[in-house]
Amino acid sequence: MALEDFRADAMRCTRCAYCKWIPFDHVKSWKYAKGCPSIEAGKFHSYSAGGRLVTALSLMDGRSTVTPAVEDSVFKCTMCGLCDVSCKLCRYDMEPLAAMSELRATLVEDGHVPAQVEPILKSLRTEFNMLQKPRAERGNWAKELGLKDLSKEQAEVVFHAGCRYSFDGDLGHVAKASVKILKQAGLDFGIMGENESCCGGRAHTMGHRKDMHTRATHNLTAWKKAGVKTIVTPCSDCYHAFKRLYASTEGSEIQVLHMVEIVDQLLKDGKLKLTKAVNKKVTYHDPCHLGRQGEPFVAWNGVEKKIFGQAVAYEPARPRYNGAFGIYEAPRNILKAIPGLQFVEMERIKEAAWCCGSGGGCKETYPDFALSTANQRLDEAQSTGADAIVSACPWCERNFLDANQEGASKLEVLDIIALVEQAL
Partner 1 sequence: MEISRDAYRAIEDIVGAENISDDPAFLDSYAFQWLAELVRPENSHYMPRPWAVVLPATTEEVQAIHRVCNKYGIKIKPISTGWYHWAAPMKDNEPTIQIDLRRMDKIISIDEKNMVAVVEPYVTCAQLQAEVMKLGLNINIIGAGCSTSIVASASTYFGAGPSSYYMGNNSDNLLGQEWVTPGGDVVLTGSLSSDCGWFCGEGPGPSLRGVTRGNMGSRGGLGTYTKCAIKLAPWHGAAVLEPQGPPPAYRLPIPENTRVYTIGVPSWDAFAETYLNIYDNEIGYIFHRQFNLAGADLAPALWLTYLRPDGTMNDVETASKDPEMQKLADEGRISFQIILQGRSVDEVKLQDKILDAIMAKTGAYKVGRFCEQDFAEFTHMYLQRLGHKHCNFIWVGGYMGSWMQAGIPDFVKNYSPVAIDGFYRDQKQSDGLVQCGGDALMGCGSSISGGGYFGFEQFVSYDPNDKASVQACVKHMYDAIDDCKANGIPLGKEYIYLMIGWPDEQIWNDFSKAPQTFVLHFQRKIKEHFDPRELGDRNYPWLPKGMGQPNFITQS
Among positions 46, 205, 214, 404, the unique one binding partner 1 when judged by CB under 8 A: 46
Given the complex with partner 1, which of 51 and 361 has the nearer CB atom? Answer: 51
Q: Does 106 bind partner 1 (CB under 8 A)?
A: no
Q: Does 383 bind partner 1 (CB under 8 A)?
A: no
Q: Does 343 bind partner 1 (CB under 8 A)?
A: no
**Residue 243 near residue 388, CB atoms below 8 Å:** no
Among positions 115, 309, 405, 410, the unique one binding partner 1 when judged by CB under 8 A: 309
Q: Which part of the chain contacts ligand SF4 (CB under 6 A), choosing from 22-30, 44-52, 215-223, 228-236?
A: 44-52
Given the complex with ligand SF4, which of 194 and 364 has the nearer CB atom? Answer: 364
Following CA atoms 307, 312, 317, 319 in sequence, which dihedral angle do they give, to the nearest 10 degrees? -160
Q: Does 126 bind partner 1 (CB under 8 A)?
A: no
Q: Find residue 281's DSSP bridge partners.
A: 342
Q: Does 37 bind ligand SF4 (CB under 6 A)?
A: yes
Among positions 23, 42, 50, 190, the unique one binding ligand SF4 when judged by CB under 6 A: 50
**Residue 240 near residue 294, CB atoms below 8 Å:** yes
Phi and psi, residue 321, nearest 5°: -95, 100
Cβ contacts of residue 43 below 8 Å, gap of 6+? none
Give the type of residue at 147. L
Q: Find residue 230's DSSP bridge partners.
A: 157, 255
Distance separating the N- and C-terminal Cα atoms of the chain: 47
Q: Does 77 bind ligand SF4 (CB under 6 A)?
A: yes
Phi and psi, residue 293, nearest 5°: -100, 5
Among positions 37, 49, 55, 258, the unique one binding partner 1 when judged by CB under 8 A: 55
**Residue 302 near residue 249, CB atoms below 8 Å:** no
Given the complex with partner 1, which of 311 and 424 has the nearer CB atom? Answer: 311
Inter-axis angle of helices 96-109 and 49-60, to 10 degrees? Answer: 50
Q: Does 244 bind partner 1 (CB under 8 A)?
A: no
Given the complex with ligand SF4, which of 39 and 263 has the nearer CB atom? Answer: 39
Residues at the site binding ligand SF4, with contacts judged by CB under 6 A: 13-19, 35-38, 48-50, 53, 77-83, 86-87, 94, 96, 355
